[in-house]
Chain A
Amino acid sequence: MNKIWLIMQREFLNRVQKKSFLIATILVPLIFPAVIGLMVLIFVKQEQSAGKTIVEVLDESGRMNLEDNDKFDFISIQGNLDQAKTAYMHTNDFALLYIPSFELNQPEGMTLYTRENPSIRKIDDLESILEKRLQDLKLEQFNIDKETLKSLRASISLKSVNLSDTGEEKDSNTGMLYILGFVLGVLIYMFVLIYGMQIMLGVIEEKTSKIVEVIVSSVKPFQLMMGKILGIASVGLLQFSIWAVLISVLSTATLNFFDLKMPQQQAMEQVMNQVNDPEMAEAMQQNNQVFEVLKSVNEIPYLYIVFNFAFYFLGGYLLYGALFAAVGSAVDSQQEAQQFTFPITLPLIIAYFGLFMFILNDPNSTASFWFSIIPFTSPVAMVGRLGYDPPLWQLILSQVLLVGGFIFTTWIAGRIYRVGILMHGTKVNYKVLAKWFMMKN
């Protein structure tokens, strides 16, 4: 145990003392928001500068009467199609829409002529405008006047409220939860991959520099492997904590700069305002600390999410880290490692896709359940579900299985590792790995 601790310390210090660690730790929290901000800026600029799209309309039926809206300007033109086409080629207009005379029941032959391939979004928008207009025409056919038409249209936006077991109503902000699940899931995916790779590279380095034979004459291969895995895990946790602190400090600072307030602060000020009695207000101010604590208890989901995120990060990392260590031990170079890293990362990639396809869209579906139970996918999947308040039994089951999962992979990896690190120049395939695994001590 003492030796695992020594190795862990060494691995930790080796990495933390590197300049690259310092740079990554400080820059990432700055770069990420900067990149996102920049993208949003560009997007907004583009939308603004884009202006309206001009579409020439040659309406032979004379019935469509398309109205301009905030996206499109429709210019009505006359003449036959060939003339219109030639005229269109001399303009900068986006498209030429040709509407032949048609039967209301069978509207056919509408054609959009463009110089470039139009985006699907624009086509969709145009189609829905045309469909709406056709619908209106049909309704008019049944002598329904415009006023009635207007009143037929209803516009609602669903307010979603979760009913908890205790019957308490909670506003659920689905959009927010989606983003939360997305960010947490992707974070776990990236952390496991990046730090898993670091384990593998570390093992390969020890193997190729031949130091490993000296080390294993002092410690058991399993101790070396565990020390390395845990050492890198602590680097990851440190880096993550620094990021969390930096990001929250930075975002608070930024929000303050723009004179916006964090939700907690707003809530607190509301409470303060409600207390009209100045004495009471003063008392409350004095009890501020108590208030803070009480408030944080009220906000248990944050604690709950942070705790569970840390759990799944560690669990997923340990599960995959052991496998990465085994791969590193089996090969002589990074290139050789590729044939083995793909099958290892495959479940992780599947989990990543599962996150987008099932979990975020329908966190309580059967697919989501299985994704968040199976240890190879649960770190990404369950973290994606955390915001949606998964049933406690599922959470516990998933965590127990994850612990079992990493004990299992560590056991397998340990058996391959102890043989692999001493083998040089062997051509390794799965059969060889199986043989090493079976080899008695």
Chain B
Amino acid sequence: MIALSAKNVTKRYTNHLALDEVTLQVPERSIYGLLGPNGAGKTTFIRIINQIINADQGEITIFNEPLQEKHIGRIGYLPEERGLYKKLKVGEQLLYLAQLKGMSRAEALEKLKVWLTRFEIKDWWNKKVEDLSKGMAQKVQFISTVLHEPKLVILDEPFSGFDPVNAQLITEEILAMRDKGATIIFSTHRMETVEELCDHIALINKSKKILEGPKKTIKDAYKSNTFKVEHKGLIRLSDEKYEVQDQHLLEENLYHSTIRIRGTASPNQLIQDLINQTEIHGFVEKIPTMSEIFISLVKEEAVV
């Protein structure tokens, strides 16, 4: 099932087009990475899903229903710019935010106890937010995002401001939510996060979606049939079949080469050709990182 589907969503501000006919589909129970350079239109798109602003054109459906006010309680949103009421105590704050999402006070109280115990912050209940450290406040804000058990969680740069221990904690929670059936949309610049967590990806650049699909498919599509080989002694391959892009000495007589197959030869063929000349110490296909795909696509666009 599709958790969220956007069709030809367009948003125009007075001087510029923030979103231009963006169409994308977020499968249910996926961790969906929404990538793009600064100012590409990600925040605008997220705000439209959250009904903070309305699109000029296009349709958005959520769990196969047109997006409406009643869906607010089914979405959890962690904005990039974190913020809480500084003077309000942690407990009151979380209860208030949960009630605004449509939970009853009693229900919110019950769930909060579980979360605060799990995050080991039970004794913060009566602390004012202004007395918390930045990382502590982030934890509180994360709880406020997911307390009402949203079916769709939208996280804008969720790991900024977390130390590795807490980042790990949050990662586990995100995976646990996915396993319980939630769909997660990530908006991020941190490619490690994307590599590690996302299974689907969309790339937005200059208000347009330029790439979308499962991570594996995208990576396969951007493979260039290039292999990294570690070997003893220099090699010489036929220029017709292979292109040796780089060859450098690692240590005494041990070389590292990047070789691209020009024709239709299989990796096994390449190994066979190599065995005749050298002793192979390592052989691995060079798979493009998301970061490389991202950069190459965005740069390409910039040139065009």
Chain B's interface size range is 20 to 34
How far does the Cβ of B264 sit from chain A's closest Cβ, in whole Å? Answer: 52
* CB interface residues, B 52-66, toward A, < 8 Å: 52-54, 56
Q: Is B254 in contact with chain A by the CB < 8 A criterion?
A: no
How far does the Cβ of B110 sit from chain A's closest Cβ, in whole Å? Answer: 18
Q: Which of B14, B50, B84, B99 contacts A209 (CB 8 A)?
A: B84
What residue of chain B has the Cβ atom nearest to residue A213's Cβ? B79
Q: Is B86 in contact with chain A by the CB < 8 A criterion?
A: yes
Main secondary structure of the interface of B (DSSP, over half): loop
**Which of A84-92, A215-223, A402-410 lines the interface with chain B?**
A215-223
- List the A side residues contacting B81 at CB < 8 Å: 210, 213, 424
Q: Is B42 in contact with chain A by the CB < 8 A criterion?
A: no
How far does the Cβ of B206 sit from chain A's closest Cβ, in whole Å? Answer: 21
The answer to whether B52 touches A14, judged by C-beta atoms less than 8 angstroms apart, is: no
- List the B side residues contacting A214 at CB < 8 Å: 77, 79, 83-84, 97, 141, 144
Given A6-B96, A10-B96, A14-B88: A216 and B83 interface contact (C-beta under 8 Å): no
- List the B side residues contacting A218 at CB < 8 Å: 72, 97, 100-102
- The docked-state distance in angstroms from the alpha carbon of A209 to that of B79 is 12
Q: Which of A6, A205, A206, A441 contacts B100 (CB 8 A)?
A: A6
- The docked-state distance in angstroms from the alpha carbon of A109 to that of B262 is 120
* CB interface residues, B 122-154, toward A, < 8 Å: 141, 144
- The docked-state distance in angstroms from the alpha carbon of A213 to that of B154 is 13
Q: Is B82 in contact with chain A by the CB < 8 A criterion?
A: yes
What residue of chain B has the Cβ atom nearest to residue A13's Cβ? B92
The answer to whether A217 touches B51, judged by C-beta atoms less than 8 angstroms apart, is: yes
Q: Which of A6, A212, A422, A440 contacts B83 (CB 8 A)?
A: A212
Q: Is A3 in contact with chain B by the CB < 8 A criterion?
A: yes
Q: Is A435 in contact with chain B by the CB < 8 A criterion?
A: yes
Q: Which of B52, B53, B79, B102 contacts A210 (CB 8 A)?
A: B79
Given A210-B79, A210-B81, A217-B77: A6 and B50 interface contact (C-beta under 8 Å): no
The answer to whether A213 touches B84, judged by C-beta atoms less than 8 angstroms apart, is: no
What residue of chain B has the Cβ atom nearest to residue A421's Cβ? B52
Q: Which of A211, A424, A435, A440 has the most CB of B within 10 A?
A: A211
- The docked-state distance in angstroms from the alpha carbon of A219 to that of B88 is 19
How far does the Cβ of B212 sit from chain A's closest Cβ, in whole Å? Answer: 24
The answer to whether B97 touches A209, judged by C-beta atoms less than 8 angstroms apart, is: no
Q: Is B7 in contact with chain A by the CB < 8 A criterion?
A: no
- The docked-state distance in angstroms from the alpha carbon of A440 to that of B13 is 10
- List the A side residues contacting B52 at CB < 8 Å: 213, 216-217, 422
- The docked-state distance in angstroms from the alpha carbon of A432 to that of B141 is 32
Given A3-B100, A6-B96, A435-B14: A217 and B85 interface contact (C-beta under 8 Å): no
Q: Is B241 in contact with chain A by the CB < 8 A criterion?
A: no
- List the B side residues contacting A217 at CB < 8 Å: 50-52, 72, 75, 77, 79
Q: Could you list which residues of chain B lie within 8 angstroms of chain A, going by C-beta atoms?
A: 14, 47, 50-54, 56, 72, 75, 77, 79, 81-88, 96-97, 99-102, 141, 144
Q: Could you list which residues of chain A lie within 8 angstroms of chain B, going by C-beta atoms?
A: 3, 6-7, 10, 14, 205-206, 209-219, 422, 424, 435, 439-441
In order of increasing CB-CB distance, the 7 nearest A-B pairs are A210-B83, A211-B83, A218-B100, A217-B50, A210-B81, A213-B79, A217-B77
CB-defined A-B contacts under 8 Å, sample of 19: A3-B100, A6-B100, A10-B96, A14-B85, A210-B82, A213-B81, A213-B83, A214-B83, A214-B84, A214-B97, A217-B50, A217-B75, A217-B77, A217-B79, A218-B101, A218-B102, A422-B52, A422-B53, A440-B56
